[in-house]
Amino acid sequence: MGYSTEDEKLIDEAYKDLLDSCTKICKNDEDWNLIKRAFFLAKEAHQGVRRRSGEPYLLHPIAVAKIVIEEIGLGVKSVVASLLHDVVEDTEYTVEDIERIFGPKIASMVDGLTKMSGVFNADTSEQAEYFRKVLLTLSDDVRVILIKIADRLHNMRTLGYMPRDKQIKITGETIYLFAPLAYRLGLFPIKSELEDLCMKYRFPEEYEEISRKIRETEPQRSEYIERFCAPIRKALDANNISYEISGRVKSVYSIWTKMQRKQIPFEEIYDLFAVRIVFQALPFPSEKTQCWQIYSSITDIYAPKPDRLRDWISMPKANGYEALHSTVMGPDGVWVEVQIRTQRMEDIAERGFAAHWKYKHATLSQNDDAFDSWLKKVRDALNGPNENAVEFLDNFKLSLYTSEITVFTPKGEQRRLPYGATALDFAYDIHTKIGNKAIGAKINHKIEPVTKQINSGDQIEIITADNAKPKAEWLDIVTTTKAKQAITSFLKRERKNNIEHGIAIFESQLAKYHITASGRVLRKVIPAYGCYSKDEFYSKIGAGIISLDNIEKVLKSSSKSKILKFWKLWLNTDEPDDSEGDEQPVKRSVSDEEFTIAPCCNPLPGDSVVGFRDNATGKIIVHKATCDELNRLASQYGNNIIKDQIKWSQHKAVSYLSTIELRGIDRMGLLLDISHIVSEDFSINIREVCIRSHDGIFEGSISVYVQDANSLNALMDKFRHVKGIETAKRSTEIKD
């Protein structure tokens, strides 16, 4: 069945719009013909096919091609590959057909964009394997990844038509991998939009509330930015600098994450915006010198905050980002971040990798090969011996979304490592053999353990020994992909039968207490040790990552999953109940044996939750909707997200143990006020109070029994109004 007249009109309008964008990249008739041939082939291939929204499917590849031009800045071949990116996957056309019509390069790009399928290991997620294979295209053509990001961006923009479980799966993948990947490739606006769209579909009420507050505060913010910028404009005009100055508001997602992290309301976020100065650099002096001259002019007007100066011009980020950031004291005692960059730096900040290559041959920056060096690390990781795709994806994620430090070898060579890296990460960054033999380090000529965290500017020398070898606990210490993979590979070579070894250890431990390993025992101990399957549990025991010293305590303790036994977990399905003769969704209760509480986030009744089906036990593991571990699982085992929406429904009053972390200024009677609120105002029982005071500052925790999440939030809100208490936030850890 073909398209209707209305469909043809929509397609024609979208195609003309795309051709308007192509005027900036098409240099000759051959370029135009390539794009036109790709369009008509895609139109024929997708004839009559519709998206879930009901619109013609062809509008999707056209939209992806437009993103590739306008928002990423790629060229003709990338537009052709974008138009054809679903043709091989969804139609009768083959990669050989594409090669015959468009040549080997475009065929290779389309092949890289075509989704993979096949037989995978039982313990390997199909999605994770797919991601790994897609990333393999990095070794051939980075444009494939950029087009894949454009494809994901358009899918996210139209996600509202997908069912809830698919939304959770797709947003989980996006926040876990695609947004960090966009950031690493320098596509900051796309990274921010992907994050905002994830929040819009996962947490629509919070998204709308923050968006509304941003709109409502716009007039006051604009007035302040204009007042702040006026003297800066005057100074720049006096120096005959060609510039643009503007105020940029933080993304909704970044505001929300800060509110979540600090557990503060919107009104207490003071750095809602930054002022950006983009200027046209002169041929002389250097761009760096001109940036510092503008910085000097600004700090003549406003006092800078010394510890908030960020020089990414002398040492750009690994994604190519260059700028000078400074926080200065503006009018009315408000700290304001000012970003200073040239037009070239702005293009790279907005367009990332594509703009980097555009300028690569026109500049002589010592950091021109930053992308090359990162891509080399990715290729090394892809070609490594690690066969588990899920494990690979977890490790690859570490290399994407992280702040960086720069350290030096004994001979003065610079090395980039993620913030939080240890001397051991540095050792593996130099060479795997050095990491495997490391026993210590000299940091700034002082001997330190290899587990010591290193800081920007440190000079490091690794001390090795021939009889040294990696330890399993190193996996919890290192932060880089290369180090984790090297250690894991060594441990696998040394002990190939980790699972069998783990089973033997586990069964021998149980035998001491005259217990036989069974499904009931495993269901109790696996979540207690933070694992999600028996294979993972046995493997970690065999590798020495898990110690069973406290197994007796675990076996005797009551399972945390029992807290749900006084609540009912309801699954709201989309299927109508025919027996009742209506079209209302069915609400069915789930037995207590079907679910368990996720130990990583410990949701309380009343929290927004999502269910994940565990393959090993068949149980539904209940996670908080905001849980980072849920995003990881959704990105790798998205098909295990249960389709039904989970609701809590109480049928018997009961209390649940939860912990609140407190911090503030110490004073006489503070503990009395805290206990009075808990016992008198809320009639809640206290399990444990632990308060420490030092130099007039106190911090600690209070474990209480509450009925649900609303009760806990009300209690924390009351704490925040107590004189001296600066922060009160919920801890995910449960006191034993």
End-to-end CA distance of the chain: 64
The full length of the chain comes to: 736
Specify the residue for token string 């930054």.
274
| Residue 366 to residue 191: CA distance in whole angstroms | 26
Picking from 437, 436, 427, the residue whose alpha carbon sits closest to that of residue 479 is 427
Cβ count within 10 A of residue 386: 19
For residue 161, give the DSSP letter: G
Could you confirm whether 90 is annotated as catalytic? yes
Q: Which residues pair with 730 in a beta bridge?
A: 660
What's the CA gap between 706 and 678, in Å, rounded? Answer: 10
SS3 per-residue string spanning 222-280: HHHHHHHHHHHHHHHHHCCCCEEEEEEECCHHHHHHHHHHHCCCHHHCCCCEEEEEEEC
Reading phi first (left if > 0) and then psi (alpha if -120 to 50, else beta), residue 333 is in: left
Q: Three-class SS of residue 585?
A: strand
Given the residues 12, 17, 89, 593, select the one marked as catalytic: 89
Strand-pair partners of 444: none
697-706/567-576 β-pairing:
unpaired
Print the SS3 string covering 266-294: HHHCCCCEEEEEEECCCCCCCHHHHHHHH
Cβ contact 295:340 at 8 Å: yes
Choosing from 90, 141, 391, 699, which is the catalytic residue? 90
Instruction: Say how far apart CA 156 and CA 178 lie, in whole Å.
Output: 11
Residue pointed to by tokens 């408000």 = 334
b vs e for 202-222, b when ≥16 Cβ sit within 10 Å of the residue's Cβ? bbeebbeebeebbeebeeeee
The residues annotated with a catalytic role in the active site are 89-90
